């Protein structure tokens, strides 16, 4: 009967015992001398077929030459006479072959291990260190039932030291876990080997008591053969199996890990260098500023005139245009603005355009709206991109290319369905009890039964778990569960011993046959348990059940669609049945499927539709109110501008639809961020422009024609609106060059939307203003223009118009307060302090996007991610992929990759092993599973049970597999059809134990198809089926192969980012050292690659955007001074916003980068209008700053600050955490910071160091067009 795969180890340990003795040695005999046997020959068999030696002492015998040669091939230390028969030796050899595959990679360990059993079984001086202590009668014959095996501590210690680090690559663990039960020293190892196994269980058929000394009165001498060190030059092991070897010191020192940021200790405080630097810079700047301010203040007191602006002081500015001032004052000079060519052109254009649009509002309205509607027609091709890998990772990104290469050449990572069943912490102690109890395991069986009954519905056909699950060996799913220790069968629970059997398997999962899974592989308890520390598995507080499901690239066979159908039924079952069942037992349950995140994101996208709609509604109501005149009950229905506000909002939405339509027609998919953010952004910009335009028209004298009022208003504010809009368009346009798709697409859509919004503002909205003015003048009711009221009301409207509340506040309160010298000093000091403090703490800004934030607050995945962080003790799989591995003998790349004997000390696998010894920095948990190592061991002549061939040269499986042994046979005979099978190679066939190119090419498919079993655990089928791409390998080059290990448990976003960075740095260093193309791959890399350079992307994008704004401002205004001040304020707003992100715990990711880019657009609105008004005003700096606030302050405050404030506040009621954190908190911070900088800090800076005015007094002569005067 075929022996299950990994059980072999236990058997192998046992083999020594049952094959161990040979010579007859009477239990009563006291003969202990040289060339004398303690046991000889076989006198019986146990019921399970294991042989029992004869307990009769006898002299050793001299074997014939053929038998002696056979003994020498396995036991070179035994020469001359022996204490074993040829049958016993054959049994010994067949049993030893089970251990060889585990240890052959380290020849010194293997040699010591074989010597231990060779001396026990065949040594001619066996009686000197073997003493039979008990016998038993079997079938009328006395047989050995117990012995003492005297061995020196020197040999025992040397044996253990040579083997303790030898790896078993298939399981990413140490071989000692298989052949030694995980022993921590040689005494534990000997105890494990010497246990007498019950019938049917692996182990020794009789007890072996290992002793380090002999009785004083006895002639016995402990066995003390020389032991080989794993670093021995003749039998040396690889560095991965013997890291302590002097030859294994790292050939080049590992690169130093990045040290923590510079810090300085001041007394008990530890201060970062950047923080201390900012403090010193602040002290220096504030000192210089106060000194300059005091000197300038003294000069102002002693010299009332400002020498820099001498012609301005005699002229009293009152905020009206200069043309009117000339008429009033009767001066003989003309106030002339020295405009740039661009400004002069814009003034001429807006004067002519304003007159034309006032005369033809219907035509303009129709044409502009028609154009945008035509652009919106592209919405027929509208599609939304929801795939995370398409949003956050560009198609040319390194992670995307590596994922594509891995999926196409090897195999896509399987889908994961998971349950986490955990105990509830005690409310008093706060500690959770252990979940490893009989009751809880039986509950898990009940849960598993319900999962097995799930039937998904795909196209009318039922889909069950066995239809889609991963099956590496046989027909059983590779479910990772504690139930695997019971073969997933509740009927065996009591038979195996219940929870005690599970606890036994926690320690012997690699060596006990009864602990093997139903799919015939060991199950690591750290993968099925959670919430324990160290190796205290019995203290675990959670069961982790994982169902690996097949994943298919392209899915032409609809396998993934079938899996999704099952996953939906799985989640439904968990919600409706499993949760109530578990909670009734006072336990908790969390769960997830591969499609869960995508499904929950889709639900999230509609979860806050009402909240977002309410936010827009509140903003619309406010806009409608603020656009109207000061409310008076008798005339509000005429003076209000609800219809105008509604029309303006519709124009904003049209601009968004036009932008989306254009890009949809071009095949660019939209994103949820675009649909949620861009209307908000465009509304912010559009409302500001609407307020500025309406307020500019209101400021015009009523005694002039409507055409003149519209024309003058456009001349007054058109240039600043154009400047702001053009700056915003360019700021967003540069984002189109960002590699991150989410940011790039957002920037493209936003740039076009703002451009269309600006187009509609100066066309359709101005036309609507004309209609509204006519409606008001004709005394018609707002919203119902067909209804006309009596003319008496009109008089009330005309006579009741005056400055609004905000205009009066800006003129009478805000501007005078900011004009106070003390207030200016405080404002500059406070704003400078906050900016420098933000710079100091900005390095603390963490990168990443917590998955919980993206999901709805009521999502079941919230509990699942909490459970992952709390309970999981195993990290994500990590693959090191080797491209174009040249396996030809001449290339020497084999030794550059492998980690067994004769491999290079700096090989890839040896370096991975070294890195795993520093998991805190490398994030590598254990040495890699190596198909190459196992392949080389599998075809090694020493592993004589593995690579074998029939006499016709075809593949011969191990003796315990069909056709050598069938399932019907209780004991596999050595005389079957495979008796003539021979090893594939002799040592003479290999070159330094390495196969030739042809041998490698021929035997690799054999290895990958070979099933692992007790006689040869190194078979590659299952473990390495998808590890090697055999496509085109006949040429001598393997295009792709992978070596699997694991990351350490990753709990935070920072852990994931650092693990990716560490893996790439490691691979880069090894690739450069070996001149082989190697890259790391894990399933999460594609989502976290963005964070490796998120700072670079963010800062570059922001810098280019602000730089573009500076250049545009400079070109239009011809004032580098004014442009520099705008640049400074924008930088301060961004820096302060990033500082607030640190304070609020907002991470830097694609969403926050988009928000930062968007903040530039809103910040421009806060700055440009005030700066332009200051530049075009006349008087000294104080007067011009006051006039700028009076003219534009109210529009900016009402158009942006209050509008956004009322809209943002509604978002705090959103159900999705991402809206609360990234839209409510971040937008609120932006609005407040922007308002303070635009309407507090900027006016103060302008009043202290603003650019010179553009106005000069010149002699009366040919003048510029009147439009120049109107620009004051």
Q: Are 743 and 776 in contact (CB under 8 A)?
A: no
Sign of CA dihedral 398, 401, 403, 406: negative
Q: What pLDDT does 814 receive?
A: 87
List pLDDT tens digits, range 1072-1117: 999 999 999 999 998 888 888 888 888 888 888 888 888 888 888 7
Q: What is the pTM of this model?
A: 0.77
Average pLDDT of the chain, as a whole number: 82
- Mean pLDDT score, 521-536: 89
Q: Which of 997, 1108, 1022 is nearest to 6 (CA)?
A: 1022
Lowest-confidence range among 276-290, 1094-1108, 1189-1203? 1189-1203
How is residue 1055 written in tokens? 């852990």
- 589 φ/ψ angles, rounded to the nearest 5 degrees: -135, 130
Residue with tokens 């003998």: 889
**Residues 6 or more apart in contact with residue 659 via CB below 8 angstroms:** 375, 678, 749, 750, 752, 753, 756
List pLDDT tens digits, range 187-206: 989 988 888 877 766 677 88
| β-pair partners for 333 | 1259
Q: What pLDDT does 254 receive?
A: 47
Tell me the CA distances in angstroms from 703 to 689, 706, 710, one per residue in order.
25, 9, 13
Q: Are 540 and 529 in contact (CB under 8 A)?
A: yes
Q: Are 84 and 96 in contact (CB under 8 A)?
A: no
Residue with tokens 């011009």: 1184
Q: What pLDDT does 1077 receive?
A: 96
List pLDDT tens digits, range 705-719: 889 999 999 988 888
| CA atoms of 1037 and 888, how far apart (whole Å) | 8
Sheet holding 415-423, edge to edge: 529-530, 542-549, 415-423, 587-592
Lowest-confidence range among 444-448, 530-534, 876-880? 530-534
Q: Are 896 and 908 in contact (CB under 8 A)?
A: yes
Higher pLDDT, 329 or 366: 366
Q: Are 885 and 1076 in contact (CB under 8 A)?
A: yes
Q: What pLDDT does 693 receive?
A: 87
HSE, CB side, 13 Å, CA atoms: give it for residue 479.
24
| CA atoms of 329 and 321, how far apart (whole Å) | 12
| CA atoms of 446 and 452, how far apart (whole Å) | 10
DSSP letters, 292-323, are: HHHHHHHHHHH--S-TTSTTTTTSPP-SS-HH
Q: Are 836 and 1139 in contact (CB under 8 A)?
A: no
How is residue 1204 written in tokens? 């956004």
Tell me the CA distances in angstroms from 103 to 12, 76, 466, 916, 942, one per residue in order.
12, 17, 36, 21, 10
Burial class (CB in 10 A: 0-12, 13-18, 19+), 1232: middle
Q: Residue 21 above 60 pLDDT?
A: no
Q: What pLDDT does 257 receive?
A: 47
Higher pLDDT, 320 or 509: 509
Q: Residue 686 above 90 pLDDT?
A: no
Q: What pLDDT does 23 receive?
A: 34
Q: What pLDDT does 197 receive?
A: 79
Q: What pLDDT does 795 receive?
A: 45
Q: What pLDDT does 438 receive?
A: 93
Q: Are 749 and 385 in contact (CB under 8 A)?
A: no
Q: Is the peptide bond before 720 cis (omega within 30 degrees of 0)?
A: no
Q: Report how far apart the first and last C-alpha atoms of the chain are (Å, whole number).
A: 102
Higher pLDDT, 86 or 73: 86
* Residue 1046 pLDDT level (bands cut at 50, 70, 90): very high
Per-residue burial over 453-474, b = 16 or more CB atoms within 10 Å of its CB, e = otherwise: ebebebeeeebebebbbeebbe
How is residue 332 written in tokens? 């003989």
Q: What pLDDT does 1217 receive?
A: 79
- Mean pLDDT score, 1174-1189: 85
List pLDDT tens digits, range 155-197: 999 999 989 888 876 666 788 887 887 888 999 899 888 888 7
Per-residue burial over 280-308, b = 16 or more CB atoms within 10 Å of its CB, e = otherwise: eebeeebeeeeeeeeeeeeeeeeeeeeee
- 52 φ/ψ angles, rounded to the nearest 5 degrees: -125, 130
* Residue 17 pLDDT level (bands cut at 50, 70, 90): very low
Lowest-confidence range among 224-233, 298-307, 347-356, 991-1000? 298-307
Q: Residue 603 above 90 pLDDT?
A: no
Residue with tokens 């899915």: 555
Q: What pLDDT does 443 receive?
A: 95
* Residue 24 pLDDT level (bands cut at 50, 70, 90): very low
Q: Helix, strand, or coil here: 146?
A: strand
* Residue 1244 pLDDT level (bands cut at 50, 70, 90): very high
Q: Residue 568 above 80 pLDDT?
A: yes
| CA atoms of 229 and 237, how far apart (whole Å) | 9
The neighbour count for residue 970, using CB atoms within 10 Å, is 8
- 859 φ/ψ angles, rounded to the nearest 5 degrees: -70, 140
Burial class (CB in 10 A: 0-12, 13-18, 19+), 386: middle
Q: Residue 232 above 70 pLDDT?
A: yes
Q: Helix, strand, or coil here: 579?
A: helix
Q: Residue 877 above 80 pLDDT?
A: yes
Q: Interior CA angle at 1124 toward 1123 and 1125, to 5°? A: 90
Q: Residue 980 above 70 pLDDT?
A: yes
The three-state DSSP-derived secondary structure of 419-432 is: EEEEECCCCCCCCC
Q: Are 282 and 828 in contact (CB under 8 A)?
A: no
| CA atoms of 19 and 935, how far apart (whole Å) | 29
Q: Residue 1265 above 60 pLDDT?
A: no
Q: Residue 391 above 60 pLDDT?
A: yes
Q: What H or E segment, with its residue span, contains residue 1255?
A: strand 1255-1259
Helix residue ranges per DSSP H, 925-977: 931-938
**Residues 6 or more apart in contact with residue 430 via CB below 8 angstroms:** none
**Residues 6 or more apart in contact with residue 306 via CB below 8 angstroms:** 300, 312, 313, 1180
Q: Residue 727 above 90 pLDDT?
A: no
8-state DSSP, 184 = S
Q: What pLDDT does 763 receive?
A: 93
Q: What pLDDT does 146 receive?
A: 92
How is residue 1186 written in tokens? 């006051």
| CA atoms of 732 and 746, how far apart (whole Å) | 8
Lowest-confidence range among 180-194, 627-641, 642-656? 627-641
| CA atoms of 996 and 1002, how far apart (whole Å) | 10
Indicate the pairing of strand 207-211 with strand 141-150.
Answer: parallel
Q: What pLDDT does 298 receive?
A: 65
List pLDDT tens digits, range 922-931: 999 988 889 9
Q: What pLDDT does 268 receive?
A: 66
Q: What pLDDT does 452 receive?
A: 94
8-state DSSP, 82 = B
- 546 φ/ψ angles, rounded to the nearest 5 degrees: -120, 130
| CA atoms of 575 and 378, how far apart (whole Å) | 41
8-state DSSP, 644 = H
Per-residue burial over 1034-1063, b = 16 or more CB atoms within 10 Å of its CB, e = otherwise: eebebbbbbbbbbbbbbeebebbbbbbbbb
Higher pLDDT, 413 or 1194: 413
The neighbour count for residue 214, using CB atoms within 10 Å, is 17
| CA atoms of 939 and 772, how far apart (whole Å) | 91
Indicate the pairing of strand 269-272 with strand 263-266.
Answer: antiparallel
Lowest-confidence range among 678-692, 914-928, 942-956, 1247-1261? 1247-1261
Helix residue ranges per DSSP H, 165-304: 176-179, 186-194, 273-302
Q: What pLDDT does 751 receive?
A: 87
**Residues 6 or more apart in contact with residue 839 via CB below 8 angstroms:** 274, 278, 1135, 1139
**Residues 6 or more apart in contact with residue 822 via CB below 8 angstroms:** none
How is residue 1180 written in tokens? 């000294």
| CA atoms of 1186 and 1204, how far apart (whole Å) | 25
| CA atoms of 1019 and 69, how far apart (whole Å) | 29
8-state DSSP, 533 = -
Q: What pLDDT does 13 receive?
A: 40
Q: What pLDDT does 975 receive?
A: 66
């Amino acid at each position: 009967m075929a022996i299950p795969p990994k059980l072999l180890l236990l058997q192998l340990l046992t083999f020594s015992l049952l094959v161990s003795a040979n010579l007859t040695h009477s239990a009563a005999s006291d003969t202990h001398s040289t060339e004398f046997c303690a046991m000889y020959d076989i006198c019986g068999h146990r019921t399970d077929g294991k042989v029992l030696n004869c307990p009769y002492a006898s002299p050793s015998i001299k074997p014939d030459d053929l038998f002696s040669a056979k003994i020498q091939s396995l036991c070179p230390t035994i020469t001359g006479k022996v204490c074993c028969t040829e049958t016993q030796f054959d049994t010994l050899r067949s049993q030893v072959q089970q251990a060889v595959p585990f240890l052959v990679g380290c020849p010194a360990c293997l040699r010591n291990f074989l010597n231990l059993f060779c001396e026990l079984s065949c040594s001619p001086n066996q009686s000197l260190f073997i003493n039979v202590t008990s016998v038993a009668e079997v079938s009328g014959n006395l047989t050995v039932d117990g012995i003492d095996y005297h061995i020196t501590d020197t040999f025992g210690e040397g044996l253990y030291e040579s083997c303790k680090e030898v790896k078993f690559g298939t399981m990413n663990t140490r071989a000692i876990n298989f052949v030694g039960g995980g022993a921590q020293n040689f005494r534990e190892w000997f105890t494990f080997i010497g246990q007498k196994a019950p019938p049917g269980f692996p182990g020794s058929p009789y007890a072996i008591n290992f002793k380090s000394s002999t009785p004083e009165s006895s002639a016995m001498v402990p066995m003390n053969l020389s032991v080989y060190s794993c670093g021995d030059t003749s039998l040396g092991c690889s560095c991965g199996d013997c890291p302590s070897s002097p030859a294994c010191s790292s050939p080049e020192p590992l690169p130093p890990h990045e040290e923590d940021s510079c810090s300085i200790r001041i007394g008990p405080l530890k201060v970062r260098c950047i923080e201390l630097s900012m403090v010193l810079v602040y002290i220096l700047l504030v000192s210089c500023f106060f000194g300059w301010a005091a000197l300038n203040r003294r000069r102002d007191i002693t010299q009332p005139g400002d020498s820099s602006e001498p012609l301005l002081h005699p002229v009293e500015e009152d905020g009206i245009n200069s043309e009117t001032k000339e008429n009033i004052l009767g001066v003989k000079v003309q106030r002339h603005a020295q405009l740039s060519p661009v400004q002069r052109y814009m003034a001429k254009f807006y004067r002519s355009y304003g007159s034309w649009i006032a005369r033809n509002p219907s035509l303009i309205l129709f044409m502009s709206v028609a154009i945008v509607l035509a652009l919106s027609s592209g919405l027929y091709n509208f599609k939304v991109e929801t795939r995370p890998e398409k949003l956050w990772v560009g198609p040319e990104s390194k992670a995307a290319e590596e994922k594509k290469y891995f999926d196409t050449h090897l195999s896509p990572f399987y889908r994961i369905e998971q349950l986490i069943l955990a105990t509830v912490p005690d409310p008093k102690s706060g500690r959770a009890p252990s979940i490893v109890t009989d009751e809880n395991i039986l509950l898990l069986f009940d849960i598993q039964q319900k999962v097995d009954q799930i039937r998904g519905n795909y196209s009318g056909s039922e889909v069950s778990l066995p239809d889609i699950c991963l099956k590496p060996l046989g027909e059983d799913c590779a479910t990772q569960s504690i139930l695997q220790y019971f073969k997933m069968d509740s009927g065996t629970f009591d038979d195996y011993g219940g929870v005690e059997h599970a606890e036994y398997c926690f320690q012997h999962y690699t060596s006990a046959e009864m602990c093997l899974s139903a799919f015939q592989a060991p199950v690591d308890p750290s993968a099925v348990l959670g919430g324990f520390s160290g190796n205290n598995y019995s203290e675990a507080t959670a069961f982790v059940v994982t169902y690996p499901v097949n994943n298919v690239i392209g899915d032409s066979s609809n396998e993934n669609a079938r899996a999704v159908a099952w996953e939906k039924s799985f989640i439904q079952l968990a919600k409706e049945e499993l949760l109530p069942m578990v909670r009734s037992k006072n336990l908790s349950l969390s769960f997830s499927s591969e499609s869960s995140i995508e499904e929950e994101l889709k639900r999230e996208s509609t979860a806050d539709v009402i909240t977002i709609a309410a936010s827009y509604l509140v903003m619309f109501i406010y806009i409608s109110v603020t656009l109207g005149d000061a409310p008076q009950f008798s005339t509000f229905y005429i003076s209000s501008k609800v219809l105008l506000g509604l029309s303006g909002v519709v124009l904003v939405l049209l601009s968004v639809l036009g932008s989306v339509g254009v890009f949809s027609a071009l095949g660019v998919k939209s994103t949820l961020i675009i649909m949620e953010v861009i209307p908000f952004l465009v509304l912010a910009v559009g409302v500001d422009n609407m307020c500025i335009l309406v307020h500019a028209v209101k400021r015009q004298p009523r005694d002039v024609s409507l055409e003149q009022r519209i024309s003058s208003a456009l001349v007054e504010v058109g240039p600043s609106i154009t400047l702001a809009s053009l700056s915003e368009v360019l700021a967003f346009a540069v984002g189109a060059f960002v590699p991150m798709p989410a940011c790039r697409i957002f920037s493209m859509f936003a740039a076009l939307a703002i451009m269309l919004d600006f187009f509609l503002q100066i066309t359709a909205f101005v036309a609507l203003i004309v209609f509204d003015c006519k409606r008001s003048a004709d005394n018609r009711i707002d919203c119902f223009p067909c209804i006309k009221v009596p003319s008496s009301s009109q008089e009330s409207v005309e006579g009741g118009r005056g400055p609004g509340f905000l205009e009066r506040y800006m003129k009478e309160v805000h501007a005078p307060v900011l004009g106070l010298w003390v207030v200016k000093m405080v404002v500059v000091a406070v704003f400078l302090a906050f900016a420098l403090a933000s710079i100091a703490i900005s390095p603390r800004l963490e990168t990443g996007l917590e998955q919980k934030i993206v999901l709805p607050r009521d999502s079941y995945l919230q509990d699942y991610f909490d459970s992952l962080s709390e309970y999981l003790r195993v990290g994500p799989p990590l693959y090191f992929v080797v491209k174009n591995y040249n396996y030809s003998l001449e290339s020497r790349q084999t030794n550059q990759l492998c980690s067994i004997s004769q491999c290079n000390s700096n090989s890839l696998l040896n370096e991975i092993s070294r890195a795993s010894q520093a998991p805190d920095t490398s994030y590598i948990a254990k040495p890699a599973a190596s198909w190459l190592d196992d392949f080389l061991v599998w075809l090694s002549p020493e592993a004589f049970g593995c690579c074998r061939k029939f006499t016709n040269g075809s593949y011969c499986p191990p003796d315990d597999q069909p056709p050598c042994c069938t399932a019907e046979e209780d004991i596999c005979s050595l005389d079957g059809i495979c008796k003539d099978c021979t090893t594939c190679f002799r040592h003479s066939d290999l070159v330094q134990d390495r196969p030739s190119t042809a041998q490698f090419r021929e035997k690799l498919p054999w290895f990958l198809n070979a099933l692992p079993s007790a006689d040869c655990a190194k078979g590659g089928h299952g473990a390495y089926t998808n590890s090697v791409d055999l496509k085109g390998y006949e040429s001598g080059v393997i295009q792709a192969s992978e070596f699997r290990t694991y990351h350490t448990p990753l709990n935070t976003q920072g852990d994931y980012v650092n693990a990716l960075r560490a893996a790439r740095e490691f691979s880069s260093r090894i690739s450069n050292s070996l001149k082989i193309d190697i890259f790391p791959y894990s399933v999460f890399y594609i989502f976290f690659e963005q964070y490796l350079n998120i700072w670079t992307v963010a800062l570059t994008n922001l810098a280019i955007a602000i730089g573009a704004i500076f250049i545009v401002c400079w070109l239009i205004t011809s004032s580098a001074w004014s442009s520099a001040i705008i640049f400074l304020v924008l930088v301060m707003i961004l820096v302060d916003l990033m500082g607030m992100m640190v304070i609020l715990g907002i991470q830097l990711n694609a969403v926050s980068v988009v928000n930062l880019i968007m903040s530039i657009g809103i910040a421009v609105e806060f700055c440009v209008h005030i700066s332009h008004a200051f530049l075009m005003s006349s008087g000294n700096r104080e007067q011009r700053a006051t006039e700028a606030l009076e003219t534009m302050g109210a529009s900016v405050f009402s158009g942006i600050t209050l509008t956004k404030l009322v809209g943002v506040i509604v978002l705090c009621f959103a159900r999705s955490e991402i809206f609360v954190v990234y839209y409510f908190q971040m937008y609120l911070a932006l609005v407040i910071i922007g308002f303070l900088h635009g309407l507090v800090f900027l006016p103060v800076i302008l009043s202290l160091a603003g650019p010179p005015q553009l106005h000069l007094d010149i002699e009366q002569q040919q003048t510029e067009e009147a439009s120049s005067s109107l620009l004051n």
